[in-house]
Amino acid sequence: MQPQKGNTAFIKQTALQLGFDHCGIAKAVKLDDDARRLELWLQNGMHGTMHYIEKYFDLRIDPTKLVPGAKSVITLLKNYFPEKEQQTDGPKISKYAYGKDYHEVIKKQLNDFLSLIKNKVGDIQGRGFVDSAPVLERSWAQRSGIGWIGKNGNLITKQSGSFFFIATLITDLKLEYDDPFAGDYCGTCTRCIDACPTDAILPEKLIDGSKCISYFTIELKEMLIPGEMKGKFDNWLFGCDTCQDVCPWNRFSKPTTEKDFTALPAILNLSTKEWNEMTEENFKQLFKDSPIKRAKFSGIQRNLKFLGNS
């Protein structure tokens, strides 16, 4: 077996053994089309106050700026669809935040993955990224044959829907490349567009991030949420899953097998009263390993007040 073919087979097999659900590989090239779309999106102010997206533009579109001599971009998906959903009529939490912080969970698995590849192949250069660096993950996932980008901006797979985290490993190792995913299986469906409470989903797969509930409840650091959004949050306290919940492809979602993504009992069961009575000390203790800590206690308190739940 040729080294290139053997290394590719090893990487895909190892990814599955480490608990990743999909693995695709694309050639490391400059993403010129994505660069134009990103530039237009930024010019239209659809990133709101997320000014960090304006930075490192060149790094976002060119993997060789992140890993010199990069030849391959490996995309990995990790399912987070929960076995149980919230059992309370309290404020709603996005499913991705039910368990432990995915950044920490997947980063460790990526480091293990890279170590195993180096043990097999030799001293290669590589860097792993999980939603914490300037990488256009969904574009690479489409280029590596895993799925397509839906009208709601999420990567969708035919087999399992869209409740996945996307991780990326860029390396200077030359591998066999998967064919890009061909086609768009959203068809004429507009359920996500119709269901979005704040009209953040625009035609042509354009998402106005500055209108998204996830932006307001997580990313917005100011203590005032714009008044025109009052009454539009559909009781979402942290994040929003509406566009995924209504997507027909997510009828194929299966519960995650990652034990670290098991839902915290507090998230499944906390009532509105319990959220309101929570102290900062309780908050830090309950959510010390959770993505919810990103919003901080003050952010959660702000969100509760805005929902009219306090």
Count the Cβ atoms, other than its own, within 10 Å of residue 208. 19
Specify burial of residue 119 (Cβ count, 10 A radius: 0-12, 13-18, 19+). exposed
Q: Which of 21, 33, 62, 131 is catalytic?
A: 131
Torsional class of 235: left (φ above 0), alpha (ψ -120 to 50), beta (otherwise): left
CA distance 188 to 70: 38
Q: ∠ CA(275), CA(281), CA(285), 5° rounding?
A: 85
What the block records as the tokens of 253 is: 């979602």
**CB distance 244 to 165 below 8 Å:** no
Q: Measured between alpha carbons, how far is residue 126 from residues 7, 45, 70, 76, 173 in Å? A: 15, 33, 8, 15, 8
What the block records as the tokens of 270 is: 């906390």
Specify burial of residue 99 (Cβ count, 10 A radius: 0-12, 13-18, 19+). buried
**CB distance 158 to 185 below 8 Å:** yes
Residue 33 annotated in active site: no
Which residues are identified as catalytic?
131
